[in-house]
Amino acid sequence: MKVTIYDVAKKAGVSIATVSKVINHTGNMREETRKKVMNVIEDMNYQPSIMASALSGKGTETLGLLVPDISNPFFSMIARTIEDHAHEHGMSVIMCSTDEDPEREKKYLDVLQRKQVDGFIVASSFHEKKLLRKLVEHDVPLVMLAYDDASLDVSKISVDDLKGGYKAADHLVSLGHRQIAVIAEHTNSSKLRILGFQERLESQGITLKEENIYRTTASTLNGKACFDKIFQRKDHGLPTAIFACNDLLAIGVIQGAMEKRMSIPDDLAIIGFDNTILATTTVPGLTTIAQPIEEMGKKVVEVLIEEIKEDVSVNQRVLFNPELIVRGTT
């Protein structure tokens, strides 16, 4: 059926050990032998079984990627760069969308373990912390991406959310806005973004009242709903600008504003976060705080691979610099 190491060995007139050695570039041997074997390998189109080598001690050369939802543009962009860099290191990646559902989280973690993936990347959120903790205790390589949770003792790669908040605030303030509303998620990231935003506002003598912070989950629909809520309150000065903690939410706001025939950015300025493809497809384009997704993806893979190879958690925390991308909504 399929050609195995035995077939190659036999045809090359050597032992399987020798074949194994040339495949793995281990041990020494006469250049002549190595060439002979190489040729046979080519001839027979021999492809070593990763299953077998994994079973006998080596890794599976595959990574598990857990994200809330791969169909969300932010995560699919992340997945793409991770996939690319993983493959540069000879690793494949199995994707898993958790939907932030503990059941699914558990199920996926389970399967990935049974498949003996060499390492895990957990992005953005994870509820079953204990399961993660158990993994870490068992020395399973695991790195968190865009999810800076102090309660987990592992390496973390993320954008500097606080600074992102700063930049959003600075931009809006420099444009003269003083009445600002915020729409956020319930995540850690959002909290930090708000914190930075708030700090910066206050340093310029502007206070952001708690009642002007709206919390929801990421979707355009929810963004629009928040917009509606904000503008139906007529009790006090309406905001001239909105900071949405991600692009999806920001787009919901754009839609709400358009529907109300408000002019953007004159009647209302909007700034998002992430810089996904969605920020480029609206008209006007969405001003947003960009996460350096490409670099972040590269870094997670590097750190994870290192932990897999070195067999030890370097346990580092890397914060990337967010960048303001000005488009038409401000």
Partner DNA sequence: TTGAAAGCGCTAACAG
Partner DNA sequence: CTGTTAGCGCTTTCAA
Please say which residue, 181 or 250, places its beta carbon nearer to a copy of itself: 250
CB atoms within 10 A of CB 177: 22
Can you tell me which of 73, 106, 195, 292 binds a copy of itself, judged by CB under 8 A? 73
Nearest to 252 by CA among 284, 278, 220, 215: 220
Residue 330 to residue 256: CA distance in whole angstroms: 16
**Packing angle, helices 16-24 and 5-12, rounded to 10:** 110
Based on the shown chain and the rule CB under 8 A, indicate whether residue 77 belongs to the binding site for a copy of itself: yes
Can you tell me which of 16, 23, 54, 318 binds a copy of itself, judged by CB under 8 A? 54
Please say which residue, 116 or 315, places its beta carbon nearer to DNA: 116
Please name the residues in contact with 31: beta carbons below 8 A apart, sequence gap of 6 or more: none
Residue 311 to residues 79, 209, 228, 306, 314: CA-CA distances in angstroms? 24, 48, 52, 8, 9
Based on the shown chain and the rule CB under 8 A, indicate whether residue 277 belongs to the binding site for a copy of itself: yes
Draw the binding track, 57-96, toward DNA (x: CB under 7 A; -: no contact): xx--------------------------------------
215 burial (CB, 10 Å; 0-12 / 13-18 / 19+) is middle
Can you tell me which of 25, 43, 55, 169 binds DNA, judged by CB under 7 A? 55
Based on the shown chain and the rule CB under 7 A, indicate whether residue 33 belongs to the binding site for DNA: yes
* Near a copy of itself in 112-131, by CB under 8 A: 112-116
Residue 193 to residue 99: CA distance in whole angstroms: 23
Please say which residue, 18 or 216, places its beta carbon nearer to DNA: 18
Can you tell me which of 49, 203, 204, 321 binds a copy of itself, judged by CB under 8 A? 49
- Residues in contact with DNA by CB under 7 A are 1-2, 4-6, 13-18, 20-21, 23-24, 26-30, 32-34, 46, 48-49, 51-53, 55-58
